[in-house]
Structure 1
Amino acid sequence: MTTGELLDRTFALYREHFGLFFGITALPHLFSFALGLFANPLRIYLGLNFLGWVWLGALISVLVGAVAHAATVMAVSEIYLDRTTGVIDAYSKVQFNIVGVILLSLLVAMGAGLGAFFFVVPGILLALKWSLVVPVAVLEDQGIIDSMSRSASLTKGYRWRVFVIWILFFALSLSMTLLFQWPVQIATASAITHHARYLFPWLNAASTLLKFISACLAGPLATIAFSLLYYDLRVRKEAFDLQYMMDALDSMASSSAQPSSVLT
Structure 2
Amino acid sequence: MNQPLRPMRLGELLDRAIQLLRTNLGLFFGIALPPAIAQFAMSTAGDFFRADGRGIGYAISGLTVIVLLLGNLIITPVATAAQCWATSQLSLSRAATVRSAYGSFSNRKASLVGLAIMQGLMSFWPVVILYFVATALLSALHSKGGVAFAVIIVALCAIPCGLVWARYLLAFPATAILRTPAGPSIDRSVTLGDGYRWKVMWAGLLPLGILWALKGSGDWLIGLLNAWGPFARHSDFLAPFLVNFWNLLVDLVFMPLEFIALTLVYYDLCVRKEGLDIALMMEQAGMETIAEPAALTSAGEEPA
The answer for the alignment partner of 1:184 in structure 2 is 222
Q: Which residues of structure 2 form unaligned runs of 5+? A: 1-7, 51-57, 131-156, 288-304
Q: Cα RMSD (Å) of the superposition?
A: 2.8
Compared with structure 1, are the counterparts of its residues 46 and 3 closer, same or farther at alpha carbon in structure 2 (3 Å cutoff)? same
Q: Are residue 110 (structure 1) and residue 129 (structure 2) matched?
A: no
The answer for the alignment partner of 1:45 in structure 2 is 59
Q: Superposed, which structure 2 residues align to 1:117-132 within 5 Å?
A: 117-119=128-130, 120=157, 122-132=160-170
The answer for the alignment partner of 1:227 in structure 2 is 263
Percent identical pairs in the alignment equals 26
Compared with structure 1, are the counterparts of its residues 84 and 187 closer, same or farther at alpha carbon in structure 2 (3 Å cutoff)? same
Shift of 1:195: 7.1
The answer for the alignment partner of 2:273 in structure 1 is 237
Q: Which residues of structure 1 form unaligned runs of 5+? A: 252-264
Q: Are residue 214 (structure 1) and residue 221 (structure 2) matched?
A: no
The answer for the alignment partner of 2:236 in structure 1 is 200
Equivalent residue for 2:12, pick from 5, 17, 22: 5
2:35–2:72 Cα contact (<8 Å) kept: no
Shift of 1:11: 1.1
Higher fraction of helix:
1
Q: Superposed, which structure 2 residues align to 1:4-23 within 5 Å?
A: 4-23=11-30
The answer for the alignment partner of 1:140 in structure 2 is 178
Q: Are residue 26 (structure 1) and residue 62 (structure 2) matched?
A: no
Q: Are residue 172 (structure 1) and residue 210 (structure 2) matched?
A: yes
Shift of 1:125: 2.6
Compared with structure 1, are the counterparts of its residues 14 and 195 closer, same or farther at alpha carbon in structure 2 (3 Å cutoff)? closer
AA partner of residue 153 (structure 1)? T
Distance 1:185 1:63 in 2: 32
Deviations, residues 171-212 of structure 1 (Å, cap 9, x unaligned): 211111112223321233336x9973x512333322221111
SS at match of 1:175: helix
Distance 2:49 2:160 in 1: 37
AA partner of residue 236 (structure 1)? R
Distance 1:79 1:133 in 2: 19
Distance 2:199 2:171 in 1: 16
Distance 1:186 1:17 in 2: 35
Indicate the larger mover: 69-78 or 182-191: 182-191
Distance 2:222 2:200 in 1: 34
Deviations, residues 192-247 of structure 1 (Å, cap 9, x unaligned): x9973x51233332222111111112211111100001011001111112223344
The answer for the alignment partner of 2:199 in structure 1 is 161
Deviations, residues 147-177 of structure 1 (Å, cap 9, x unaligned): 1111000100111111222332232111111
The answer for the alignment partner of 1:149 in structure 2 is 187
Q: How many residues in Structure 1 have an aligned counterpart in Structure 2?
A: 245
AA partner of residue 257 (structure 2)? L
AA partner of residue 17 (structure 2)? T
AA partner of residue 132 (structure 1)? L
The answer for the alignment partner of 1:82 in structure 2 is 93
1:133–1:150 Cα contact (<8 Å) kept: yes
